[in-house]
Amino acid sequence: MSQREWIEKDFYKELGVSSHASADEIKKAYRKLARDLHPDANPGDTKAEERFKSVSEAHAVLSDPAKRKEYDEARRLFASGGFGQGGGGFNPGAGGFGQGGFDINDLFGGGGAAAGDGGLGDIFGGLFNRGAGGGGATRTTNRPRRGSDVETETTLEFREATLGVTVPLRLTSPSPCTTCHGSGAKPGTSPRVCPRCNGTGIVSRNQGAFGFSEPCDDCRGTGSIIDSPCEVCHGNGVTNRTRTITVRVPAGVSDGQKIRLAGQGEAGLRGAPSGDLFVTVRVRPDKVFGRNGDDLTLVVPVSYGELVLGTTVSVPTLEGRVGVKIPAGTADGRVLRVRGRGVPKRAGGAGDLLVTVKVAVPQKLDDPATEALKTYLEAEKASGFDPRAGWAGA
Ligand SMILES: [Zn+2]
Ligand SMILES: [Zn+2]
């Protein structure tokens, strides 16, 4: 099994477990499948035989905590696009990794020359091959490589998001360790080719009638062994680099929106262009305002009397306050529109402010007010008003 296959295969799916499955769940799932698919139980069934091999392969990786961790990490980095999408931007035309039709070599725009394991050796050079010894890493090391896209998130206050803001972003992303230049080996030493798998990262084993291939235990599938690990990256060949950039967030962004900053991702190698930075914006809810597209929403408490007689109330907007006229006889819950006082639009102008009136009922009234209200209710009745006239439940 090549490293490339290792990433392309969904071992969790093979075993029918979730990627969060416990060691126990994995063991159980494997045992059941192994029993069902065992060649002794399915003589002459080549499909079952194939499945049996795949399941065993999946189990070999997932049952080993170290291998599983490495596998998860590689898949996570791959799925997140952390290793660069040659085509740039989100949702590559192929439908993304994991759909079956995605060719790893597409990532580099490489094609022919990069075919085979060379492409993957390039991507995972730091993680798997540790820069030397394994697969085709050495063949491709000198090729320029577009920098990886980077994804990050920032949380804004409601008003910052609606009005636009400039925020500093601290980015931490893996990059080749500068001490060992990505080899993972202490300066002055170098990784040696794993003698057990001869640098392939794979060992074959015969079990009964079958030959199995699985990641080499000695080198954890990397093909090389580091006798004295680099002290800075602990043999990973990768360290986290932190940088701060300033991002101008345009007015009117909404929660969950992604902003693309071209060329702000990881630097390219050997003169290749940088990747892009994608910032997902999170917006904290506001105490006063809500948002509906470009419109701002606001609830204003009013008294019954104010709705009956009409009044003007002062309400906040994003900038300053505005008087909202409530006409006499306005129903509770009605929405009043203040044009142009909503969220600024990118094309110019702004949405509206939608003010909902909501009657606040006094919980306690003093004697004069209570008396006045009683007198009022009698007068209201005498005038012929019946709140439940025409009500279906009457
Ligand atoms: Zn290092
Ligand atoms: Zn090995």
Which domain CATH number covers 51?
Answer: 1.10.287.110
From CA 207, how far away is CA 284, in angstroms rounded? 58
Q: Is the pLDDT of residue 135 over 50?
A: no
Q: In angstroms, what CA-CA distances link 291 with 75, 337, 351?
A: 37, 14, 10
From CA 104, how far away is CA 110, in angstroms rounded? 10
Asked whether residue 320 is domain-assigned, the answer is yes
Core vs surface per residue 294-329: b (16+ CB within 10 A) or e = bbbbbebebeeebbeeebebebebbeeeeebebeee
Residue among 290, 276, 303, 280 nearest 363 (CA): 303
**Strand partners of residue 185:** 229
- What would the pLDDT profile of 293-322 be if each residue is shown by its tens digit? 899 999 999 999 999 999 999 999 988 999
Return all residues near 341 (Cβ < 8 A) that are at least 6 apart: 296, 317, 318, 322, 350, 352, 353
What distance in angstroms lies between residue 190's CA and the mean position of ligand 1's atoms?
11
Inter-axis angle of helices 46-62 and 23-37, to 10 degrees?
160
Tell me the HSE value of 220 on the side-chain side, using a 13 A CA sphere: 17
From CA 298, how far away is CA 295, in angstroms rounded? 10
From CA 130, how far away is CA 124, in angstroms rounded? 8
Domains contained in the chain, number: 2
Annotated ligand binding at 286? The verdict is no
- What would the pLDDT profile of 35-92 be if each residue is shown by its tens digit? 888 877 777 788 888 888 888 888 888 888 888 887 777 776 655 444 433 333 333 3
Q: Last residue of some domain: 80, 113, 138? A: 80
pLDDT, residue 191, reads: 86
What distance in angstroms lies between residue 226's CA and the mean position of ligand 1's atoms?
11
Asked whether residue 174 is domain-assigned, the answer is no
- What would the pLDDT profile of 212-243 be if each residue is shown by its tens digit? 788 888 888 888 888 999 898 888 777 777 87
What distance in angstroms lies between residue 329's CA and the mean position of ligand 1's atoms?
75
Q: Give 288's pLDDT tier (boundaries 50, 70, 90).
A: very high
Asked whether residue 261 is domain-assigned, the answer is no
Asked whether residue 296 is domain-assigned, the answer is yes
Q: Which ligand is nearest to the CA of 187?
A: 1
Q: Which ligand is nearest to the CA of 189?
A: 1
> Which phi and psi angles does 331 have, rounded to 5°?
-75, 150
Asked whether residue 374 is domain-assigned, the answer is yes
**Strand partners of residue 84:** none
**Strand partners of residue 279:** 152, 259
pLDDT, residue 336, reads: 97
What distance in angstroms lies between residue 124's CA and the mean position of ligand 1's atoms?
15
Annotated ligand binding at 233? The verdict is yes
Annotated ligand binding at 248? The verdict is no
Annotated ligand binding at 43? The verdict is no
Asked whether residue 187 is domain-assigned, the answer is no
pLDDT, residue 335, reads: 97
Annotated ligand binding at 180? The verdict is yes
Q: Is the pLDDT of residue 182 over 90?
A: no
What distance in angstroms lies between residue 126's CA and the mean position of ligand 1's atoms?
10
Q: Is the pLDDT of residue 100 over 60?
A: no
Q: Last residue of some domain: 21, 55, 80? A: 80
Asked whether residue 9 is domain-assigned, the answer is yes
What distance in angstroms lies between residue 32's CA and the mean position of ligand 1's atoms?
43
Annotated ligand binding at 177? The verdict is yes
For residue 343, the domain's CATH number is 2.60.260.20
What distance in angstroms lies between residue 203's CA and the mean position of ligand 2's atoms?
7
Annotated ligand binding at 162? The verdict is no
What distance in angstroms lies between residue 194's CA and the mean position of ligand 2's atoms?
4
AA identity, residue 111: G
Domain limits for position 354:
290-381
pLDDT, residue 118, reads: 33
What distance in angstroms lies between residue 209's CA and the mean position of ligand 2's atoms?
24
Q: Which ligand is nearest to the CA of 134?
A: 2
Residue pair 292/162 in contact (Cβ under 8 Å)? The answer is no
What distance in angstroms lies between residue 187's CA and the mean position of ligand 1's atoms?
8
From CA 70, how far away is CA 80, in angstroms rounded? 15
Does this model's pTM top 0.75? My answer is no
Asked whether residue 332 is domain-assigned, the answer is yes
Q: Last residue of some domain: 29, 54, 80? A: 80
pLDDT, residue 71, reads: 78
Annotated ligand binding at 216? The verdict is yes
What distance in angstroms lies between residue 193's CA and the mean position of ligand 2's atoms?
8
**Reduced DSSP (H G I as helix, E B as strand, rest coil) percent helix, strand, coil of the chain, to 5:** 30, 25, 45
What distance in angstroms lies between residue 20's CA and the mean position of ligand 2's atoms?
27
